[in-house]
Structure 1
Amino acid sequence: MKYIMTDNPKEQDLNVIINNLIEYNLSQIELKEVKPLAIFVNDEAGNNIGGISAETHGNWLEISLLWVDENLRGQKIGSKLLIDAESEAIKRGCKYSFLDTFSFQARDFYVKLGYKEVFTLEEYPLTSKRHYFVKQLTENE
């Protein structure tokens, strides 16, 4: 066996790891469909001024990105994006939502919208924190 360390991995080598891990993971879980979910906000000129990117998988919504143009923050655009994504996730059968944010981003925003912090990475990467949140979207049966 030969171990190779690099700070410049080839995409094809990374794809081998990713594809094999996905194949294994999918063989172990009951719901295999991961479905993308994105909502974009455009201004009158058609410029993108905000959006959310997520995936639904089984009974979970996993939010990866939420952004609103800095000049438009405080106008409930982010809240609407998040609520609309959660509503669509519920239609898809999701009961929970998961996301993470940095301490310099939107921690209080998510708390205000019902997210509960479940884990924090301290000193990430050095002076910030990375907060992980979950929210129950529907009542458990």
Structure 2
Amino acid sequence: MKYIMTDNPKEEYISVILNNLIKYNLDYIELREVKPIAIFVNDENDNKIGGISAETHGNWLEVSFLWVDEKLRGQKIGSKLLKDVEVEAIKRGCKYSFLDTFSFQAKDFYVKLGYKEVFTLEDYPLTSKRHYFVKQLKENK
């Protein structure tokens, strides 16, 4: 056996690890379909000024990224993006949402939108914290 350490791994090698891990995990997961979802906000010149990227997996929505241009923050664009992706996740059968943020980003924003903090990594990377949140999704009636 040969162990090789690198600070510049080839993407194809990372894919081997990921694909084999997924293959193993799928034997233990009831719902195997992972579906991406993204919503983008464009200005009048078709420039991206905001967006959200997430995946639904079984009854969970996992938000990867949420961004709104700094000049447009405070105009409820981020709230609309998050609510819209949650609505789509509910249509896909999701009951819960998961996301994380840094202490210098949007912790209070997520709390205001009903997310509960479940875990915090201290000193991440050194001067910040990384906060993990969950939310129980509710159908609009």
Q: Cα distance, 1:13 vs. partner?
A: 1.4
Task: Flag as ranges the 4+ runs of structure 1 deviating above 6 A.
Answer: none
Q: Percent identity, aligned pairs only?
A: 84
Equivalents in 1 of 2:86, 2:92: separation in Å? 10
Superposition map of 1:14-93 within 5 A: 14-93=14-93
Q: Which amino acid aligns with 1:2?
A: K
Residue number in structure 1 paired with 2:116:
116
Q: State the shift of 1:4 in Å.
A: 1.1
Aligned positions, number: 139
How far is the alpha carbon of 1:26 from its aligned partner?
1.2
Give 1:75 shift. 0.2
Distance (whole Å) between structure 1 residues aligned to residue 27 and residue 73 of structure 2: 42
Give 1:4's aligned residue: 4
Q: Unpaired runs of 5+ in structure 1?
A: none
- Normalised by the length of structure 1, the TM-score is 0.96
Answer with 3-12 or 69-78: which moved more: 3-12
Q: Structure 1 residue 18: deviation in Å?
A: 0.6
SS at match of 1:16: helix
Distance 2:105 2:86 in 1: 20
Unaligned runs of 5+ in 2: none
Q: CA deviation at 1:138?
A: 2.9
